[in-house]
Amino acid sequence: MDKKYYYDLEKKLNFEDVLLDALPNPIYYKDVKGDFIRCNSRFSELTNTCKREIIGKSAYEFFPKSAADRNKLIDKQIMKTLKPYEDEVHFIKDDGEVRYYKLSKAVCQNRDCVVEGIVCIMTDITDRIKEKEILIQQSKFAEMGEMIASIAHQWNEPLVELSAQVQKMELFYSTNQIDKKKVSDFVSESMVPIQYMSETLSDFRNFLKPSTIKEEFDLKIAITEIFDIVGKQIFYFNIKVDFDYDKEEDFFILGYKNQLKQVMLNIINNAKNKIIGSYEEIDFDGVITIRLTNTDTLSIIEIIDNAGPIKDDIIGQIFDPFFTTKENGTGFGLYMARTIIEDKMSGKIAVKNDGDNVIFSIEIPKMGKS
């Protein structure tokens, strides 16, 4: 090839570099193995690494392993389907600041339509994520009244047990029956309800913590943690809970655990209150069913109550902001539930009537365990 060809090629590449560097978004190219082959200055600044040192390295050098694992799976998928894909990733800067980015990926092909790699444009969505987090926390505080009532119910029984232990110890003291074994038994037996109450508070604190980074977790464990908090209160109102899923099957998803728990808790509390209200009008056995199923690409959560259908003229509005049928309701809970599921976890949430049952369904996409 002549010198003019190389000159024209170098000129074209230099122009592309100038063009890429002029864009405000971090941009990179990766080959089919997942190694970086080109990037712009914004990506170089983000990683605090010069371009020459980025080339030939993989995402594992710059991003958390969980994010790199997930995007490796995504890259394989889109190189097969040739379809563009969007995802979110967090990046921890050298000063400890966490930034959030939306990744918009597409496949690169040569003239013979052979896949050569992936191009990705990163968009900083940190401010948007933080604004949503504030709204989500506000919505979470709306559930606190229900949760505090649940804790009060949960603490009632251990407090009665502690009271009985103290009275028994007082009786031993008044009759001169205290010995080393009785003191030891008193301490051991008292620590059981105290530990239970401590765990209840710990569950409550964990629920209040904001979820800002995606993690892989088991839906079954998340459901158990929810009912550790509210189960006693539901039982107190004579509501049966059916758990309809295979105990041996894995239901792992990647997402925001506490925020998904917030969504499920909101729906469960709504179902509980609906059943309690129906008890005043008709005699029936209230049941809440929690059903989990898997498909190749989705984990599906269904929360079902049997307290009668939602009216046809309002069922299409229940996820709208500020729509409520409660006297003192804010109309914020189900709206934030939709925001969490659809905007933050790329899923879907829906509701439908099935005879006297109302079924809330939540679909969360999964990429498989990393």
What are the structural domains, with CATH classification, of the chain?
3-124 (3.30.450.20), 132-365 (3.30.565.10)
Instruction: Give tens-digit pLDDT for 32-71.
Output: 999 998 899 999 988 889 988 999 999 898 888 877 888 8
Percentage of the chain lying above the pLDDT 90 cut? 24
- pLDDT score of 200: 65
What pLDDT sits at residue 349? 95
pLDDT in tens, 157-188: 667 677 877 888 888 888 888 888 888 888 88
Q: Is the pLDDT of residue 73 over 70?
A: yes
pLDDT for residue 369 is more than 50: no
pLDDT of residue 9: 47
pLDDT for residue 219 is more than 70: yes
Note whether 120 and 89 are within 8 A (CB): no
State percent of the chain over pLDDT 70: 81
pLDDT at position 233 is: 75
d(CA 243, CA 234): 14
Q: Which residue has the higher pLDDT, 185 or 16?
A: 185
Question: Residues 32, 114: contact at Cβ < 8 Å?
Answer: no
Of 255, 262, 288, nearest to 274 by C-alpha is: 288
Confidence band of 330 (pLDDT split at 50, 70, 90): low
Average pLDDT over residues 101-119: 89
pLDDT at 155 over 80: no
pTM of the model: 0.53
Backbone angles phi and psi of 264, in degrees to 5:
-65, -40
pLDDT single digits (tens) 281-303: 888 899 999 999 999 889 999 99
**pLDDT-based confidence at 335, cuts 50/70/90?**
confident
Q: Note the pLDDT tens digit of each residue in 239-273.
A: 999 999 988 888 988 888 888 888 898 899 889 98
pLDDT of residue 150: 59
Q: Which H or E run contains 144?
A: helix 144-174
Determine the Cα–Cα distance for residues 296 and 366; give it in Å rounded to an integer: 8
**In the structure, what pLDDT confidence band is assigned to residue 211 with cuts at 50, 70 and 90?**
low
To the nearest whole number, what is the mean pLDDT of the chain?
82
- With a CB cutoff of 8 Å and minimum separation 6, the contacts of 39 are 20, 26, 27, 28, 29, 51, 54, 55
